[in-house]
Amino acid sequence: MSPELHLQMIINRNAELHEQAANHRRALQAEAARKNRAEGERRRSFFGKINAA
């Protein structure tokens, strides 16, 4: 196998693994959000946290 082909295979596999990791993180975040909503916790908007003085 030529070095160029081997390098290209490594680059492609690295990209695939990064994509899988990102998908897994999104799935975990979605599950955590569903769990929080099920427990009655609601997310507040950024502007809802600002107190007018």
pLDDT in tens, 1-53: 899 999 999 999 999 999 999 999 999 999 988 888 877 756 566 666 665 55
Q: ∠14-20-21 over CA atoms, to 5°?
A: 90
Distance CA 10, CA 17 (A): 11
Note the pTM of the prediction, 2 decimals.
0.61
Q: Say if 44 falls within a structural domain.
A: no
pLDDT at position 1: 82
Number of separate domains in the chain = 1
Q: Say if 47 falls within a structural domain.
A: no
Q: Say if 7 falls within a structural domain.
A: yes
Domain, as residue range, for 34: 3-39
Q: Say if 25 falls within a structural domain.
A: yes
Distance CA 26, CA 21 (A): 9
